[in-house]
Amino acid sequence: MNHRKGSKYDPTKPQEPNNNGLSKYGDFGVINLQTTKNNPKSGRGDFKFCVVASGTDTKIVLDRFDFSIYDLDERKEQQGEGINEKLIIDTSQVASYVLSPDTEITLSCEDAFDPDIIDIPINTDNTCPNGYKTVFSSSTMGTGKDNPDKIADLNPTQINRSILFTFVDTSCFTFIYDHYCEIDDVNYKGNQNECKYSGGNVLFAGNSTKLCHTVPTDSPVVAPTESPVVDNKTDSPTVPPPPETDEPTPAPISTVCEDDVSLFSIIGATTVDIMDAVKIISYNSLTVEVGLYNAWTPGSDPPNTIGHIFYNYRESVFSTKCYEIQNVDPDDRYAAITIQCSSSLTPFAELEICVADPNGALDPIEDNAEIPECCQSTVASNTPTVCYTIVIHCERTCDESESTAIRSLRGS
């Protein structure tokens, strides 16, 4: 949280209007609110965000985008005496949301029609009952000095106080931000009677995997000019591929369910059996490990390599990676990666694969996709290219007997 010392609240004027807009380095949007004594709802605001065409008020629908909230923390020394923060949202608007595995944010459910009713615990699958909104609440004390400044320089503490939402086929969405003193809550049961009233900021940004913001949580930031690009036919790649252990990568699960790996979208014309291109090695509700295979030139004789395969995925909450493998042989497993899962009723992970090949494996006319800019591709612009967005479930979607039958029908 952040506020200007000495500012006085005037209910007839906006509070610190110069604090609204862009953050110091322009990475975050900022909305400033002031919580005042004897006005319990003064720090609560209802917000509607819409995507519009540049320079206009014309709303447009995007097929997918990310929206992130930062710095949900508290300013107090003991319960009841200082400012708390919470974000309340109807998650039916949201395709998925992601929290750090070590998040400091707590979840509960607020009655959508009467926020003064005591919040109820969230379900074990991180959903709220009908008629309730999801509440993301602060739990840890923070100061202005630990606020994030740059999207590419988040430390683990800042990530643990952040939320990443993904929206699909959306133009507008709404949420509530509440910057409040516990003692002003009608349900407060403590014994404090004083609060240090102050102002606070909502920090927000986007973090689309299409933009490939690479933000490692515990290692040096990878500059855009050092995007990981690998040629598996050389002994000295420019930047190493995902780290591998000394142990061999386990084989894929043999009884995967039919819907565990599915194609969300394709840009281009060349189809592929996604379950042959992406095979699950292991999964849980937090991450999924997959092997990636060249399924575009299977069993070709003579063997036809694929010129370039790019794979783009979320390694952790605010860290997306794009790697390139060149000259991939038929049926080769060119990578084994672990992808962060969403926090939703049915946790899933997203993976984008772009294939570019000048040697006849793709349609020279219809395969005209663009490789994500962050992949730092040097592929010629006229090279046939097709891109796939793939959804991978992080928990089995069928029982063991069903999955075995499905794989038998597929000839596995």
Give pLDDT tens digits for 281-308.
998 888 999 999 999 988 766 678 999 9
pLDDT, tens digit (0-9, with 9 covering 90-100), for 26-62: 889 999 888 888 888 888 999 999 999 988 999 999 8
Report helix, strand or coil for 221. Answer: coil
Cα separation, 87 vs 174, in Å, equals 11
Tell me the pLDDT band of 129, cut-offs 50, 70 and 90.
very high
In a 3-state reduction of DSSP, which class is residue 386?
strand
Mean pLDDT of 12-31: 73
Phi, psi of 189 (to 5 degrees): -115, 5
Question: What pLDDT is attached to residue 247?
Answer: 65
Comparing CA positions, the residue from 93, 89, 94 lying closest to residue 122 is: 89
Mean pLDDT calculated for residue range 337-356: 86
Residues in CB range of 119: below 8 A, 6 or more apart? 108, 109, 110, 135
Q: Which two tokens stand for residue 18?
A: 């110069």
Handedness of CA 212, 218, 224, 229 (dihedral sign): negative
Q: Is the pLDDT of residue 208 over 80?
A: no
Residue 303: cis peptide before it, omega within 30 degrees of 0: no
pLDDT at 211 over 50: no
Q: Give 246's pLDDT tier (boundaries 50, 70, 90).
A: low
Distance, in Å, from the CA atom of 150 to the CA atom of 270, rounded to the nearest integer, reads 39
Taking residue 4's Cβ as centre, other Cβ atoms within 10 Å add up to 12
Place of tokens 């565990």: 260
The pTM for the full model equals 0.67
H-type alpha helices, 267-310: 274-277
Q: How confident is the model over 184-200, as a mean pLDDT?
A: 84
Residues 6 or more apart from 218 whose CB is under 8 A from it?
A: 156
